[in-house]
């Protein structure tokens, strides 16, 4: 567990590459915002979280299965992560930020992810005109 990174993970690097390809600039891990979002787009007032399906309990995803050992620990840990995520999203939305979550399993289809992020950013640009 100590080898699991919380920053600059492989999925985050892939998402950053897509965002740069789309032509958007961002800041990483802005400590002034709740939950230290992975990517922050201040000019659009939106944030991006890149979540691992297992760690954040992505419902309906095969990667989010609970381990068969120490079930009580893992169930509680993932439940608390989900509660923390929900609280963070509410805080950001109340402060006027739009939140987008990219799940690890979405990285299988990069073209689809690029289209989804493109639509998200275009919608934010339209709101700020």
Question: For 65-81, what is each residue's pLDDT tens digit?
Answer: 889 999 999 999 999 99
Domain of residue 66 covers: 10-124
Q: What is the DSSP letter of 9?
A: -
Task: Note whether residue 5 is domain-resident.
Answer: no
**pLDDT for res 43:** 94
Q: Could you tell me whether strands 46-51 and 39-41 are parallel, antiparallel, or unpaired per DSSP bridges?
A: antiparallel
What's the whole-model pTM score? 0.90
The tokens describing 29, both together, are 């891990």
Crossing angle of the two packed helices 10-22 and 110-127, in degrees rounded to 10: 60
pLDDT band per the 50, 70, 90 thresholds, residue 1? low
Q: Residue 54 pLDDT more than 60?
A: yes
Q: What pLDDT does 2 receive? A: 52
Q: How far apart are CA 27 and CA 4, in angstroms?
A: 22
Averaged pLDDT for residues 7-35: 94
Task: Judge whether 48 lies within some domain.
Answer: yes
Domain with 28 in it: what CATH number? Answer: 3.40.960.10
Tell me phi and psi for residue 54, to 5 degrees: -70, -50
Domains in the chain: how many in total?
Answer: 1
Q: What are residue 101's phi and psi, to 5 degrees?
A: -110, 130
pLDDT in tens, 97-116: 999 999 999 999 999 999 99
Whose tokens are 């939305």? That residue is 93
């Amino acid at each position: 567990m100590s080898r699991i990174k919380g920053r600059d993970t492989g999925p985050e690097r892939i998402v950053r590459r897509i965002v740069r390809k789309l032509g958007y600039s961002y800041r990483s891990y802005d400590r002034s915002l709740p939950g230290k979002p992975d990517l922050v787009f201040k000019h659009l007032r939106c944030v991006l979280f890149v979540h691992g399906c297992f760690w954040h309990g992505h419902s309906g995803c095969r990667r989010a299965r609970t381990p068969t050992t120490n079930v009580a620990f893992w169930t509680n840990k993932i439940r608390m992560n989900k509660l923390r995520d929900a609280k963070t999203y509410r805080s950001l939305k109340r402060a006027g930020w739009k939140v987008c979550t990219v799940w690890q399993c979405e990285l299988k289809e990069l073209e689809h992810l690029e289209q989804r992020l493109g639509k998200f950013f275009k919608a934010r640009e339209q709101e700020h005109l």
